[in-house]
Amino acid sequence: MKVIVTSLILLGILGLNCASIDNQVRMPSEYQSAIYEDGKAIPHSKDEILAFLDRDQTNRNVWIADEYMCQEFASDLWWNAYNEGIEGCLVAVFRGTQGHWVVKFHTTEGWLWVDPHSDITSDECQHEIYFTLCGEDAFDACIDDWDIYWLRKEYER
């Protein structure tokens, strides 16, 4: 099953069903000069995270097939939160038979799940979770080209 899902990820099928209306497209090369700082991101209150989501513009990005899709929306949202010291994780989920990416934020009250292209939030994950990337793993996923990241992860297994 993991091989099939990984193949789907590599083909970009897990990036379907994202849509947006405005512009802030950031590609992986823009992350690459950064260095991960352990302990930089910590849990915040749910209200602080909701205020961050109000300020953040990721949900206004433009979906571009095979170039800027759900994984990039999730990366940008995670990256923006990390740079404000907010702890979160990138999460690959299944919505029915299709994959999708969400971000879960560690709050002082538990977890807050966010759809990165709509900013819809929930206190519980509404989908089947395939895997989660937190901390340095999430950081590494942001700084690598996604296809290269997944190929490297498969090689490490």
Does the pLDDT value for residue 15 go beyond 80? no
Average pLDDT, the chain: 78
Burial of 157 (0-12, 13-18, 19+ CB in 10 A): exposed
pLDDT computed for residue 151 by the predictor: 53
End-to-end alpha carbon distance in the chain:
14
pLDDT computed for residue 122 by the predictor: 94
Q: Give 115's pLDDT tier (boundaries 50, 70, 90).
A: very high
**Angle 54-45-74 from CA coordinates, rounded to 5°:** 50
**pTM of the predicted model, to two decimals?**
0.77
Does the pLDDT value for residue 50 go beyond 50? yes
pLDDT computed for residue 149 by the predictor: 59
pLDDT computed for residue 73 by the predictor: 92
Work out the percent of the chain whose per-residue pLDDT is above 90.
Answer: 48
Residue spans per domain, the chain: 2-156
Domain made up of 2-156: CATH architecture: 2-Layer Sandwich (3.30)
pLDDT computed for residue 120 by the predictor: 94
Higher local confidence (pLDDT), 105 or 7: 105
- Cα 63 to the center of its chain, rounded Å: 14
pLDDT computed for residue 4 by the predictor: 35
